[in-house]
Amino acid sequence: MHDRSTVILAWLAFTVVMLVIGWVLKLVVPPAHDWAVASIGRTGAWAVFLAVILACAVFGYWPRDAAGRMRRLPTLR
């Protein structure tokens, strides 16, 4: 197993990385959201956001073979 200092260092590194990601998102997301609302409207911005989330979910839950490659969906013939 890992010793205590390695675990503490890993948790500390994880926390720092998450805080940096949060800081970057707070800088990037509001201007991007304002731009999207100004260009395609609030409903359009939500539709694009939900479409991206749906695409990520489909990609993440796509069936995979033993090697981890994405399988083709079965076809009806």
Residue 41 lies in a domain: yes
User: In whole angstroms, what is the distance from residue 47 CA to residue 37 CA?
Assistant: 11
Q: For residue 38, give its domain range.
A: 2-61
DSSP 74: P
Residue type for 15, please?
A: T
> pLDDT: is 3 or 72 the higher one?
3
Residue 47 lies in a domain: yes
How many structural domains comprise the chain? 1
Residue-wise pLDDT tens digits, 26-60: 999 899 889 989 999 999 999 998 999 999 898 88
Residue-wise pLDDT tens digits, 13-25: 999 999 999 999 9
Residue 77 lies in a domain: no
Residue 33 lies in a domain: yes
Task: State the distance between the two ends of the chain, measured CA to CA, in whole angstroms.
Answer: 53
Residue 49 lies in a domain: yes
Residue 29 lies in a domain: yes
DSSP 20: H
Residue 69 lies in a domain: no
Residue 30 lies in a domain: yes
